[in-house]
A = this chain, B = another copy of it.
Amino acid sequence: MPKLFEAVPNFSEGRDLEKISRIAGSVRDTPGISVLNLHSDPDHNRSVLTFAGEGEPLLRASIALARACATEIDLAAQSGVHPRMGSLDVLPFVPLGPPLSDTTLEDAAGLARRVGEEIGALGLPVYLYGTAARASHRKNLADVRRGGYEGLLARAEDPLWKPDYGPEEIPPRSGAVAVGARPFLVAFNAYLGTEDIEVARAVATEVRERDGGLPGIKALGLEVGGRAQVSMNLVDLETTPISVALEAVRRSAGRHGIMVESTELVGLLPLAAILEAARHYLTLPNLGPEHVLEAVLWEGRQESRKY
């Protein structure tokens, strides 16, 4: 079974559509790559590209992407709304598990280090983070990018914050890159039947791991379009799948006398996460990808390539 990964780079251009198109094109033109999504945010002047493939094509696409960002984006000439540290700012690799492949987080960390080394050789300082980090104080992306480009400059003399690859001096035009590995993450929001943001905040506090809730739930209470929203990141779907997170929100909101009116998903979800929800709510314990016509067809097509 081939090892498949997803890459979710963030780069520091969200306004100039021609530049964005050339940058995304550097990935799209790499053989063996499927571009899954491109989301540009003019307010934050930032884009997020999602693409997938096997290790070698991803390595080549990542190098092409780093080159294109360094060519197209001049960080020094930019207004920095988002605390970015580089033109290609963050480059996480995510393992794609069953039924797509049997890739592990360690595989993704290995790929991130190889990519980091190659990007370093292009003359960009590279900081490894997440499962790819070489020291525990550099695991958390928020710590690595604290203060953005200016923060990196301020820590330049600190031996704890030398780049893993590339020059020690940060080039003002391209900045530096954080390259990492992390598990698949699902952004899942629940809209409550109230305008009272305090209820959303109380529910978020009750369900999130940080405050004693469920493992793998990060949550905030927000007001979105006049409705109270519990905005969640589910970072450990094996332990706390979507159905368990939603039932926790429903119970917690119910204690405040409030219903969950609807939910929304931001970005992509692996088939396994949807099957889990169907298993749970349909009391259908044996439902697996082998029951999904498209998944079977897709595997059959993979196999038929061998002949």
Hey, which bits of chain A sit against chain B, CB under 8 A?
Answer: 6, 34-37, 52, 96, 99-100, 242-243, 246, 260-265, 267-271, 274-275, 277-278, 280-287, 291-298, 300-301, 304
Contacts and interface: CB of A to CB of B under 8 A. Distances in A.
B304 A34 contact: yes
B283 A260 contact: yes
Contacts of A99: 294
A118 B33 CA distance: 41
Contacts of A262: 283-285
A284 B300 contact: no
A270 B282 CA distance: 16
30 contacts: A34-B296, A34-B300, A36-B297, A36-B300, A37-B296, A52-B293, A96-B293, A100-B294, A100-B297, A242-B282, A260-B283, A261-B283, A262-B284, A264-B286, A268-B291, A268-B293, A268-B296, A270-B293, A270-B294, A271-B292, A271-B293, A271-B294, A271-B295, A274-B278, A274-B287, A281-B281, A281-B282, A294-B294, A294-B295, A298-B298
Nearest to A296: B36
Nearest to A269: B291
Identify the interface centre among A99, A268, A270: most chain B CB within 10 Å of its CB: A268
Contacts of A284: 262-265
Copies in the complex: 2
B268 A283 contact: no
Contacts of A246: 282
A24 to B, nearest CB: 14
Nearest to A302: B301
A280 B280 CA distance: 13
A99 B298 CA distance: 13
A284 to B, nearest CB: 5
Of the listed residues A261, A270, A287, the one surrounded by the most CB atoms of chain B closer than 10 A to its CB is A287
A284 B260 CA distance: 11
B264 A34 contact: no
Given A286-B264, A300-B36, A293 B278 contact: no
Contacts of A275: 274
Contacts of A283: 260-263
Contacts of A269: 291-293
